[in-house]
């Protein structure tokens, strides 16, 4: 009897947030990223990716149970996996492509690929790392196939951003936050792809260097080096454009 799950019943709209979802940010890029839309993407579950070892173990347990149910043909279980991670997958794609529409397309394709390959998933592995790797590979494929010019950096900030009720007051504060978000977005866009991805996976998605290595298909030392270089480049690009650089995270 085949263990291939039934074809998922979801549509592109389900993977295209009406507003850009926020992501909990570890200390990471410090004051700048703590205030911009890129660093305030709200995960569907607090602590889904970052957090204590116990939280990660609990997440993996839930993921494994959902995968097992999906393999038995439970459409709701696969839908729950989509619901848990659609925002994160969208942002992994967006961090590579810097284009909202392309990121939505890749997010859709990612879950279709995951659905088709679920029977081959090794349950001893972390589902999130496997999912991110598929999203990253599809995003890079889309990036390489791109025939048109990349989205100008002035258009990158057009991705809708959520408002944080009570976080800031008044039009002036909102304007300052938007300006800061725009600056960080443009600096990130300046980084080479492998460095930008390492930095966002660490600072915005909360992955460890070892997890980054698995997602990006490189060695652990290479992942740490890319992260180190990305932080240096981010600081340098910021200082070239705007003067004093924001505080950056450490080497972990």
CA-nearest of 137, 49, 139, 124 to 90 is: 139
- The C-alpha torsion from 59 through 65 and 66 to 72, rounded to 10°, is 170
Look at residue 147 in the predicted model and tell me its pLDDT.
Answer: 53
Taking alpha carbons only, the member of 103, 201, 199 closest to residue 158 is 103
Whole-number Cα distances in Å, 150 to 34, 139, 142, 250: 27, 13, 12, 31
3-state DSSP call for residue 47?
Answer: coil
Per DSSP, helices labelled H in 157-192 are 170-190
CATH class, 12-191 region: mainly alpha
Cα separations in angstroms, 54 against 47, 83, 100: 10, 22, 34
Can you give the pLDDT of all 252 residues of the chain as single tens digits? 445 555 554 444 344 443 433 332 333 344 444 443 343 343 332 334 545 667 888 888 999 999 999 999 999 999 999 999 999 999 899 989 988 899 999 999 999 999 999 999 998 889 999 999 999 999 999 998 875 555 554 444 444 443 333 444 556 666 666 777 778 888 889 999 999 999 989 888 888 999 999 999 999 999 999 999 999 999 899 889 888 755 555 555
Where do the structural domains in the chain lie, given as residue ranges? 12-191
- Give the list of residues 6+ apart from residue 60 with CB closer than 8 angstroms, or none: 126, 127
Q: Which of 128, 120, 43 is nearest to 81 (CA)?
A: 128
| Residue 117: other Cβ atoms inside 10 A | 12
Output the pLDDT for position 249: 55
Neighbours of 197 (CB within 10 A): 23
């Amino acid at each position: 009897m085949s263990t291939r799950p039934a074809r998922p019943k979801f549509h592109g709209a389900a993977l295209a947030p009406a507003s850009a979802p926020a992501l909990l940010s570890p200390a990471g890029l410090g004051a700048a990223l703590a205030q911009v839309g890129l660093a305030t993407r709200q995960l569907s579950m607090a602590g889904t990716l970052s957090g204590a070892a116990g939280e990660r173990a609990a997440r993996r347990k839930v993921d494994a149970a959902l995968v097992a149910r999906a393999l038995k043909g439970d459409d709701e279980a696969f839908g729950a996996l989509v619901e848990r991670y659609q925002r994160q997958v969208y942002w992994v794609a967006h961090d590579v492509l810097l284009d909202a529409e392309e990121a939505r397309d890749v997010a859709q394709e990612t879950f279709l690929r995951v659905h088709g390959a679920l029977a081959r998933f090794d349950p001893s592995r972390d589902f999130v790392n496997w999912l991110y790797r598929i999203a990253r590979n599809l995003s890079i494929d889309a990036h390489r196939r791109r025939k048109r010019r990349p989205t100008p950096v002035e258009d990158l900030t057009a991705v809708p951003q959520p408002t944080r009720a009570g976080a800031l007051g008044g039009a002036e504060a909102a304007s300052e936050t938007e300006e800061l978000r725009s600056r960080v977005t443009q600096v990130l866009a300046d980084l080479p792809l492998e460095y930008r991805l390492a930095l966002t996976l660490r600072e915005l998605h909360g992955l460890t260097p070892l997890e980054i290595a698995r997602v990006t298909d490189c060695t652990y030392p290479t992942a740490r080096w890319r992260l180190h270089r990305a932080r240096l480049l981010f600081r340098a690009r910021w200082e070239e454009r705007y003067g004093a650089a924001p505080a950056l995270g450490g080497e972990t």
